Amino acid sequence: MIEFNPYDKAFANDPYPVYKRLRDEAPVYQCAPLNFYAISRYADVLEAHRDFKTFSSAGGVTIEGLDAMVPLLIVKDPPEHLWNKALITKVFTPNRMGSLEPFIRNLVISLLDKAAAKQEFDFVQEFALQVPLQVISELIGIPEELREEIHRLTNKLLDREDGSGLAELAATMAASHEIYLGLVRDRRERPRNDPITYLIESEVKDDEGVVRRLTDDEMAFRFGELAAAGHETVAKAIPNGVMAFQRFPGERTKLIENPGLLPGAVEEILRFDPPSQLQGRTTTRDVTLHGVTIPAGSKTMLLTGAAMRDERKFENPDIFNISREAPIDSTYFGFGIHRCLGIHLARLELRIAFGELLKRFPNFEVDSSRATRSVLSNVRGVRTLPARLGAQA
Ligand code: HEM
């Protein structure tokens, strides 16, 4: 009988063989000790994302469910989710995200320049983490003098390997919330031409025609959520991608010779090793699938990591192939009402990071055998990864 424990070290190192067995032998898996069900086939994961009425986000989207205690957008169900998302999307538009392109390119170039001066450097701490941390501050409009503290706190919140207890986590969260709250209060008194002020001034009508605005507290939570969501995922996707290129050198050569493949390569990086491995839900009614009944009120994990390697959907799913046509209904950015708000920005950051890296340092090397990995239930990626950039092209 297949056993699936998301906290197991061996599983964290390589979850894909376990996922294959889950898809084949137990497409609806019950993990009794940790009290959750898991769905692993592509078609089922997609359908569960679509059916938000049956698969509610309100109980939290992680196995632990601690996120349900914070008023985040990601744990809201309709009707609140709809107007909350409409409000935030009004401010963080694809245009606003796209306008960050020169900032991101300069940032990536300067980080690579610094790393190039070293014999060996840590690809995660000195590059992959720095990109989203600085980009998200720029997007929100965090003043320079507060960025270092925000970065320190966001990092601490997300780097859960340091054994910090719940109390410390809560204190860190409270400290970063206070900073965002301070910024919102400041902009109320002194409005500026910046996203924090726009959000204060924004309002939408809900589906009953009631005008909705966010309170100061809610805005502070939204900024914290954007910072965390934007930071954790991109910082994992970049190393996942370089490790894939190291394992499949033919794909690296292909991309260097044909930079036009870059957008497809970014999609393949996200399919091949998705940073967000699972999206948690809670069933609102009994659901019977493949002969198993998931009772109402059950924690149910939609295993995107498994779905993206489903041979029922993808040909040779364990092969990293940047010329693969990316399906429009992939779930690595989620799907349906909770689809990622930062898709545009994430793609931009990844395209620029890989574009500049491969153009300037086509022979870069990373040593995955010396990487350290975080064992987190929902995101997959390394915490440190020794790297050398090699000669500049
Ligand atoms: C490679 C990078 C990224 C990946 C793989 C990713 C993945 C995801 C996934 C899978 C979801 C859906 C979660 C669910 O259904 O429970 C999601 C939602 C979300 N993401 Fe991203 N994300 C990325 C980057 C970003 C960035 C850069 C931002 C911020 C600018 C962001 C902000 C959000 C927000 C706010 C939500 C919640 C949306 C909602 O509940 O309606 N993400 N993301």
Cα(25) to centroid of ligand 1, in Å?
Answer: 30
Cα(349) to centroid of ligand 1, in Å?
Answer: 14
Q: What is the pLDDT of residue 378?
A: 84
Q: pLDDT tens per residue, the chain (393 residues)?
A: 899 998 888 898 999 999 999 999 999 999 999 999 999 999 999 999 999 999 999 999 998 888 888 899 999 999 999 999 999 999 999 999 999 999 999 999 999 999 999 999 999 999 999 999 999 999 998 888 898 888 888 877 776 654 557 788 788 889 999 999 999 999 999 999 899 999 999 999 999 999 999 999 999 999 999 988 888 899 999 999 999 999 999 999 999 999 999 999 999 999 999 999 999 999 999 999 999 999 999 999 999 999 999 999 999 999 999 999 988 999 999 999 999 999 999 999 999 999 999 999 999 999 999 999 877 778 899 999 999 998 888
Name the residue with the closest Cα to ligand 1, atom 39.
Answer: 338
Which numbered atom of ligand 1 lies nearest the CA of 136? 30
303 ligand 1 Cβ < 6 A:
no
From 75, 84, 329, 341, the mutation candidate for ligand 1 (largest count of ligand atoms within 8 A of CB) is 341
Q: What is the pLDDT of residue 377?
A: 74
Residues 336-366 have pLDDT tens digits of 999 999 999 999 999 999 999 999 999 999 9
Instruction: Give the per-residue SS3 of the chain.
Output: CCCCCCCCHHHHHCCHHHHHHHHHHCCEEEECCCCEEEECCHHHHHHHHHCCCCEECCCCCCCCCHHHHCCCHHHCCCCHHHHHHHHHHHHCCHHHHHCCHHHHHHHHHHHHHHHHCCCCEEHHHHHHCHHHHHHHHHHHCCCHHHHHHHHHHHHHHHCHHHCCCHHHHHHHHHHHHHHHHHHHHHHHHCCCCCHHHHHHHCCEECCCCCEECCCHHHHHHHHHHHHHHHHHHHHHHHHHHHHHHHHCHHHHHHHHHCHHHHHHHHHHHHHHCCCECCEEEEECCCEEECCEEECCCCEEEECHHHHCCCCCCCCCCCCCCCCCCCCCCCCECECHHHCCCCHHHHHHHHHHHHHHHHHHCCCCEECHHHCEECCCCCECCEEECEEECCCCC
Cα(228) to centroid of ligand 1, in Å?
Answer: 10
381 ligand 1 Cβ < 6 A:
no
